[in-house]
Amino acid sequence: MSFAGVDFYDVDGLLSEEERAVRDMVREWVESELMPVINEHYTTHSFPKQLIPQMGELGFYGANLPEEYGCAGLNNVAYGLIMQELERGDSGLRSFASVQGALVMYPIFAFGSEEQRKRWLPLLATGEKIGCFGLTEPDFGSNPGGMLTRAVKDGDEWVLNGAKMWITNGSMADVAVIWAKTGDIDDSRSIRGFIVETDRDGFSAKDQEGKLSLLASDTSELVLQDVRVPDANLLPKSGGLKSPLMCLTQARYGIAWGAIGAAMACFTEARDYALNRVQFAGKPIAATQIQQTRLADMLTEITKAQLLALQLGRLKDAGTFNSDQVSMAKRNNVDMACECAREARRLLGGNGILVEYQSMRHMANLESVYTYEGTHDIHGLILGHAITGLPAYE
């Protein structure tokens, strides 16, 4: 039985025919192309690279960017639905698409010159070139403004030095968007973005070893040692910490949708398992009160998350959304998905620890999603700041 989604409140009725067509296509693609191979990739710790060209052909990368750059030109709700369906398959696949679209294509679109846009966006849209985003450093995660990576002007070139950590797509990327300070090390206003081809001298990437989450995803550490790029590789409209944070707002928006997909997968698996698993007096465990309230909680939280994401998407399409609203959706929806995955895994009993069921894979993945792109706690502080006007980060 293929995945049919979860829609208790007729949220489908709030979508346009086109948005539903996009969702249905990606859903079918995930069912036919990703689901048969994901367990193999997860257990062998490999990204399903063979899917990259087809995802590009179908238009999954940067799908909400304009057609003139080879992108699909979708609205943000349709874009969110793509993320939802990809993460229904696996958070690693959604992460790949998020990074490519929101963290590499978006900054080139938003801060790049027309020449940079025309050169890179079509290649990234088809997946001919793969990108990564270098902001986080070993010692600067939640506080990226403290970064130590520097870019120093030398004639017509910039010389970059520093290290970046937790970089999705890092080892397989052809191009990296690297954020570095161009001025004083205490001056986060001097942060600029650079397009760095990964075959330049002094650039190296190393797989992050020892992960227990996002196993079907490439996570790497980048080292930049006297990497020289021409001045033409500077993103001219980038300036200050605000620029990379704008990229994160785009990616977090996609995550708020993606988490719903993972939660739907877990809920569907838990419900089907509960209906088929017979214990005690010949009855399925779905007939017990504890599993029913478990499922009721999951369904309720998924439904709330759907409405949160959809309204956020409508606001984004109207151009009136703000990053605090994105923080609320990312924080709520990922936390919701973590809970659903954990409860689904528990409902599945001993079988729940096996890879042939999805819930524990999602549960392990979602711990990363909970942590990256602004941790749950940091988004709490962003909301606290929005509520009180008082920043509590320091």
Partner 1 sequence: MNSIVCIKRVPDSETRVRIASDGLAVDRSGVKFDMNEYDKYALEEAIRRKEEAGEGLVTVLTVGGDDARETLRQALAMGADEAVLLRAETGFDGLPVAVALAEEIRDRPFDLLLFGKQAIDDDGMQVPAMVAELLGLPAATVVVSLEIEAGRAVARREVEGGHETVEFDLPGIVAAQKGLNEPRYPSLKGIMAAKKKPLEEKDVTLVEGGLELLELSGPPDRPEPQILGEGAEAVPELVRRLREEVKVL
Residues at the site binding partner 1, with contacts judged by CB under 8 A: 1-2, 4, 17-18, 21-22, 25, 28-29, 57-60, 63, 67, 72-74, 78, 82
Single out the residue of 341, 333, 327 nearest to residue 377, CA to CA: 327
Of 19, 221, 301, 373, the active-site residue reads: 373
Neighbours of 28 (CB within 10 A): 13
CB of 216 to partner 1, least distance (A): 21
CB of 144 to partner 1, least distance (A): 32
Q: Which is nearer to partner 1, 2 or 320 (CB)?
A: 2
Q: Which is nearer to partner 1, 22 or 177 (CB)?
A: 22
Q: Which is nearer to partner 1, 74 or 172 (CB)?
A: 74
148: Cβ contacts below 8 Å, ≥ 6 apart:
137, 139, 140, 162, 163, 181, 185
Single out the residue of 240, 235, 232 nearest to residue 157, CA to CA: 232
CA distance 305 to 308: 5
Q: Which is nearer to partner 1, 78 or 286 (CB)?
A: 78
35: Cβ contacts below 8 Å, ≥ 6 apart:
89
Neighbours of 387 (CB within 10 A): 9
Single out the residue of 175, 170, 251, 161 nearest to residue 208, CA to CA: 170
137: Cβ contacts below 8 Å, ≥ 6 apart:
144, 147, 148, 149, 162, 163, 164, 165
CB of 65 to partner 1, least distance (A): 11
Q: Which is nearer to partner 1, 74 or 214 (CB)?
A: 74
Q: Which is nearer to partner 1, 2 or 289 (CB)?
A: 2
CB of 2 to partner 1, least distance (A): 6
CB of 58 to partner 1, least distance (A): 5
CB of 51 to partner 1, least distance (A): 12
Single out the residue of 191, 178, 314 nearest to residue 243, CA to CA: 191
Token pair listed for 61: 């990368």
| Catalytic-residue membership of 373 | yes
Q: DSSP characters for 230-289? A: EGGGB-TT--STHHHHHHHHHHHHHHHHHHHHHHHHHHHHHHHHHHH-EETTTEEGGGSH
Strand 131-134 relative to strand 175-181, pairing: parallel
Single out the residue of 344, 322, 332 nearest to residue 301, CA to CA: 332
Q: Which residues are annotated as catalytic?
A: 373
